[in-house]
Amino acid sequence: MIRDAYGRPLESLRLIVTAECNYRCFFCHLEGDPLGAPARPGFKPPAMTPEDYSIVAEAAWMIGIKGFKVTGGEPLIRMDIVDITRAISSSAPGSDISMTTNGMLLEALAQRLADAGLRRVNVSIHSLRRERYRFITGVDGLDRAIRGVRAAVNSGLRVKVNALILKGVNEDEVFDLIEFSRSIGATLQLIELIPVGMGARLLKTHRFPLSLVEEKLKEMGATVEVRSLHNRPVYRLPNGAVVEIVKPYSNPVFCSGCNRVRLDSSGKLSPCINWMGERVDLLSRIRGAKSREEAVVEAAKALIEANWLRRPFHLYGIGYNGAPAPKGNSRVAIPKKSDSLKALQLLSERRHPT
């Protein structure tokens, strides 16, 4: 396993398989694309093929990455999404493959995705009220999303319901969402607004602090555990409901638990959703290789280079007590190269995975 200059392991790869989406959520963070905009289906075709993802997955597996999150845009609008899932699963055996989706197309694909190697799925449902859901997403898709959730549960996938909680929009539905998720056997993941992409202009007016929800959950007798990913707290209520809290804004505790890099739909790697520097062009390297084995090594080198760029966006200040980190965090600052280069020496020693 390789680590960044701050000692954080690199264990996960977020795969943005398309920038296109069939929804129009007004808070979309665009997966951190600094030049991006919501892309309608057919207007920004993805650059990478299932074979490309097979090479990337094999390279990631070789350097110790065992978790893959497939996302978009909306990943299910790709006609080859089952092939992509199968390519990752076969090239990175035993890995944890998950997906984030709006759920509109999930009902028809859930079983095929499970059979292809998908283990978990996050379905975004920000409201259980039809008109409010339409206001948030720009699509009248609540019923189809719920059917998608149920299909995923029935196919044996582990399911999370993602809900971004927005002040003045849906904060009054938190406990309805908790009960809904419990009733169908899913975890509820509550997310604070991320001031990236379209969400940047909404921070002052729509950010709802989830610490208020956490206080209520404790009053209700919830026990709490902490995930290693982002040090996320997970609350378990006496009635069996499970609630995971995602609070990335101005939170060094969150950043200190980051273990991933991101591959965008154009084939470039970035170390953080907040990254505004130059990205590592992985796709051009593997397309320029003379053999698959050479392509795998080039992909591994690109992943290690992206790992050199990783840094916590929010840093601990002296005497940190829960307040925002000191001003001066730069979105382009780069740490010195760590000893991750040693991982390259292992590539020639590792056998081609079967």
- Rounded average pLDDT over 209-237: 97
Is 250 within the bounds of a domain? no
**What value does the mean pLDDT take over residues 4-28?**
96
The whole-number average pLDDT for the span 52-73 is 97
User: CA 352, CA 293: separation in Å to the nearest integer?
Assistant: 8
Q: What is the mean pLDDT of residues 7-15?
A: 97
CA atoms of 53 and 17, how far apart (whole Å): 9
Distance, CA of 152 to CA of 166 (rounded, Å): 26
245 and 235 in contact (C-beta within 8 Å)?
yes
Q: Which pLDDT value is given to residue 350?
A: 52
Above 50 in pLDDT, residue 338? no
Confidence (pLDDT) at 308: 94
**What is the band of 3 on the pLDDT scale with cuts at 50, 70, 90?**
very high
pLDDT at residue 40, as a whole number: 87
Q: What's the rounded Cα separation, in Å, for the pair 55 and 69?
A: 16
The whole-number pLDDT of residue 11 equals: 97
Does 203 fall in a domain? no
Bridge partners, residue 226, by sequence: 233
What pLDDT score was predicted for residue 296? Answer: 98
Whether 60 contacts 94, CB under 8 Å? no
Range of the domain at 98: 1-166+257-354
- Predicted local confidence at residue 318, as pLDDT: 60
Q: Which residue has the tokens 């990913």?
A: 229
| 124 within domain boundaries | yes
> In whole numbers, what is the pLDDT of the chain averaged over residues?
91
DSSP state of 207: B
Kindly report the backbone phi and psi dihedral angles of residue 88, in degrees, each rounded to the nearest multiple of 5, phi listed first. Answer: -65, -45
- Residue 320 pLDDT > 70, yes or no? no
The pLDDT of residue 172 is 98
CATH number, domain containing residue 40: 3.20.20.70
User: What would the mean pLDDT of 273-282 be, rounded to a whole number?
Assistant: 94
Q: Does residue 37 lie within any of the structural domains?
A: yes
Is the residue at 222 inside a domain?
A: no
pLDDT at 123 over 60: yes
**pLDDT 10s digits, 98-122:** 999 999 999 999 999 999 999 999 9
Domain count, the chain: 1
Mean local confidence (pLDDT), 18-23: 95
Question: For 238-262, what is each residue's pLDDT tens digit?
Answer: 999 999 999 999 999 999 999 999 9
Partnered with residue 80 across adjacent β-strands are none
What pLDDT does 329 receive? 45
Instruction: Let me know if residue 225 belongs to a domain.
Output: no
Label residue 243 exposed, middle or buried (CB < 10 Å: 0-12, 13-18, 19+): buried
Q: Which two tokens stand for residue 157?
A: 């996938």
Q: Decide if pLDDT at 324 tops 60.
A: no
Q: Is position 48 within any domain? A: yes
Q: Is the pLDDT of residue 328 over 60?
A: no
pLDDT score, position 178: 98
Mean pLDDT of 37-63: 92
Could you tell me if residue 114 is inside a domain? yes
Q: What is the pLDDT of residue 150?
A: 98
